[in-house]
A and B are shown apart, each in its own frame.
Chain A
Amino acid sequence: MKFFENKFTYDYSFPAVSLAYFLRYPNPYSRHVLTTDVIDRYVDPTTQRLHTTRLHLKKSKVPSGILKLLPKGMGGSDNSGQSYILETTIVDPKEGWMETESRNMEWTGILSVVEKQRYQRVHSDDEVRALDGLSMEHKEKTTVRTTVTFKSRLGQGKLLGWKKADHDGDDDAPKKGFFSSLSTAGIQRTIELIGVSRTRDAVLKSKDGMNVVLERLRSGGIVGVLEGMRRDREALGLDVHLKRM
């Protein structure tokens, strides 16, 4: 298992950031996100927190580095270049925080990626005093802590039945050579590391995307965001048939 962690502060209020989170697709940095749907949404009657479950369809290929580690046929034919992401969020507007969790729904045996974020309103009394009399707009900030967990179960248990092959040590396996030079743990570690390196870029990109949406929100309000979205969506050419349809 591998971890990735990142902390970041947005120069926007918590309501703006949480709104931008729900409105973040499409944006110029999210060309890979094809569709977004709300699966479930409710306000918990006791806590008054908003719970949302969304399904995103993203363009994504199994990285070639990982493909090389898979047995022939696996990852090849079924690699449609699209993958489903399940996202759950909980918002507490009173306490000023939002927690999100995104995970891949397929390929979880090869690599399960779980991204968790905690957005938190920052109340800095000093800052409020320093800015007293100035525009209130930039006063409030929102921090976000992102952790991503990578877990590969490749070769474990029933998924590929590799464990057996490992222990047999037969010479007849065509996998010999490259595969026998790597232990199951080694392959898992390699796959997890490939995931980590790709995530670094993805986290930066999603931050850039959020900032675009936040800037649109500040300059043009919700209408500004929606207009920007319309342009992004046209640029995406979303009416192209999705491969899975």
Chain B
Amino acid sequence: MAASIAPECNDIKEKYDTCFLKWYSRYLRGNGQSNDCDELFSKYKTCLHKSLKEKGIDSMLDDARKSSSETDAEFLKKS
């Protein structure tokens, strides 16, 4: 599995990724109703967000996610 940007989150990420893969295989076949991985994802997210904040990446990430749709509109307007 791909490594996390936060080495301390690698273990929980690996558990979550493994859970997601199993879920995703079912989801692709139309059986994705369960939320088996929610708890692992929330633990992984908590670990990750703490690290992103410490590294100061969180605000850059927020901006990028926000501007994602805006820049699209802008591109279309200008071209």
Contacts and interface: CB of A to CB of B under 8 A. Distances in A.
Interface string B10-43: 0001001000110011011110100000000100
Contact of A112 (B7, B48, B71): B71
Interface residues of A, number: 44
B1 interface: yes
Contacts of B21: 19, 22-23, 222
A233 B3 contact: yes
A64 to B, nearest CB: 25
A53 interface: yes
Contact of A50 (B7, B27, B44): B27
Secondary structure class of chain B's binding surface, majority of residues: helix
A149 B9 CA distance: 34
A26 B3 CA distance: 9
Contacts of B6: 37
B65 interface: yes
B41 A41 contact: yes
B71 A25 contact: no
B53 interface: no
> Counting chain A CB atoms within 10 Å of each CB, which of B20, B55, B64 scores highest?
B64
Nearest to B16: A38
> Counting chain A CB atoms within 10 Å of each CB, which of B5, B13, B27, B41 scores highest?
B5
Contact of A37 (B24, B27, B30, B48): B48
Interface string A10-47: 00000100110011011000000111111101010000
A190 B3 CA distance: 35
B65 A151 contact: no
A226 interface: yes
A229 interface: yes
Contacts of A86: 61, 64-65, 68
B41 A244 contact: no
Nearest to B6: A37
A26 B75 contact: no
A185 interface: no
A48 interface: yes
A33 B2 contact: yes
A160 interface: no
A144 interface: no
A151 B75 CA distance: 8
A212 interface: no
Contact of B2 (A15, A18, A26): A26
A103 B68 contact: yes
A19 B24 contact: yes
A94 interface: yes
Given A88-B68, A93-B27, A34 B3 contact: yes
Query: What are the 8 closest A-B residue pairs judged by CB atoms, nearest first?
Result: A36-B2, A15-B28, A35-B5, A25-B2, A105-B64, A93-B28, A86-B64, A238-B3
